[in-house]
Amino acid sequence: KNQVEQSPQSLIILEGKNCTLQCNYTVSPFSNLRWYKQDTGRGPVSLTIMTFSENTKSNGRYTATLDADTKQSSLHITASQLSDSASYICVVSERGYSTLTFGKGTMLLVSP
Amino acid sequence: GAGVSQSPRYKVAKRGQDVALRCDPISGHVSLFWYQQALGQGPEFLTYFQNEAQLDKSGLPSDRFFAERPEGSVSTLKIQRTQQEDSAVYLCASSPRGGSYGELFFGEGSRLTVL
């Protein structure tokens, strides 16, 4: 069964600090990997989408990396802001299928 | 509209009642997905439409769950004889491309509470 595992489950950091979230997956054959930000009570919002050939992608203060060989991805957040407090979800797509496999998310709290 | 719209945002149902949740995707989007998200969990796939065709319904948990998209635009997720375990947020997402290759745009979700 395809799986997406995220770590840590939750994280508290001080405003202005950096942090890195991890995602490991077993989905194969791989199509793409996405990171979403989900604020409490809202729908997920896309941060990045990476295909097999991409190993890094940035969106403002968010930088995602992908190692398709080890099936690992990370999301690095630079100079965190209070508004970064949210759940960050890693999602992997299997080539040829319509379904996406979602991780359970990492709950990030940025403290003043 | 500018984004994916879902209604109602909140629904409280007594066990055994039928409910219908509506999704208005972004105009022109080919793909439409329904997901179920339990508290503290990631979304779980329910079903997928490409235009009006329901190409994948493997995630529907039981035959009490039914989804339709008759004209390839608005979709309705119907849950019959609701049970307490159906309590969750139901997310709808649309994509301009077919399959899981394009970017997904999510609605705010419909939070269902079954008493």
Q: Return the HEC string of B19-72.
A: EEEEEECCCCCCEEEEEEECCCCCCEEEEEEECCEEEECCCCCCCCEEEECCCC
**Contacts B55 to A, Cβ<8 Å:** 98
Q: Does A9 touch chain B (CB under 8 A)?
A: no
B100: chain A residues, CB-CB within 8 Å: 31-32, 93-94, 97-100
Pairs of CB atoms within 8 A across A/B: 64
CB pair distance less than 8 Å for B100 and A94: yes
Q: How many CB atoms lie within 10 A of CB B10?
A: 11
Of all residues in chain B, the percent with pLDDT exceeding 70 is 99
Chain A residue whose CA is closest to B49: A98
Q: How far apart (Å, rounded) are the C-alpha atoms in residues A12 and A10?
A: 7
Residue A52 pLDDT exceeds 90: no
Residues A30, A11: Cα–Cα separation, whole Å: 28
d(CA A98, CA B98): 8
Predicted confidence (pLDDT) at residue B10 exceeds the cutoff of 90 = yes
pLDDT of the residue at B73: 95
For residue A47, the tally of other CB atoms under 10 A from its CB is 20
- The number of angstroms, rounded, from the C-alpha of B30 to the middle of its chain's C-alpha atoms is 15
Mutate to test the interface with A, among B100, B111, B113 (most CBs of A within 10 A): B100
**pLDDT of amino acid A29:** 86
**What's the pLDDT tens digit per position in B26-76?**
999 999 999 999 988 899 999 999 999 999 999 999 999 999 999 999 999
Q: What is the pLDDT of residue B22?
A: 98
For residue A12, the model assigns a pLDDT of 97
CB-based contacts of A2, cutoff 8 Å, min separation 6? A25, A26, A27, A28, A92, A94, A101
Which chain A residue's Cα is nearest to B106? Answer: A43
Share of chain A above pLDDT 70, in %: 100
Rounded Cα distance between A74 and A77, Å, is 10
Q: For residues A33 and A50, is the Cβ–Cβ distance under 8 A?
A: yes
d(CA B52, CA B75): 9
Most confident listed range (A45-49, B19-23, B54-58): B19-23
Cα separation, B87 vs B100, in Å, equals 26
pLDDT-above-90 percentage for chain B = 88
Nearest to B72 by CA among B45, B103, B94: B94
Judging contacts by C-beta atoms under 8 Å, the chain B residues touching residue A100 are 33, 45, 100, 104
- Reduced to 3 states, what is the DSSP secondary structure of residue A75? strand
Nearest to A43 among B41, B44, B108 (CB): B108
Helix or strand holding residue A81 (H, E): none
Which two three-digit tokens encode residue B102?
């394009």
Nearest-neighbour CA in chain B from A93: distance (Å): 6
Q: Is A40 on the interface with B (CB under 8 A)?
A: no
Which chain A residue lies closest to B42 (C-alpha atoms)? Answer: A104
SS3 at position A19: strand
Percentage of chain A with pLDDT > 90? 80
pLDDT band at B1 (very low <50, low <70, confident <90, very high): low
Q: What type of residue is B115?
A: L
A98 in B contact zone (CB under 8 Å) = yes
For strand B110-114 and strand B88-95, is the pairing parallel, antiparallel, or unpaired?
antiparallel
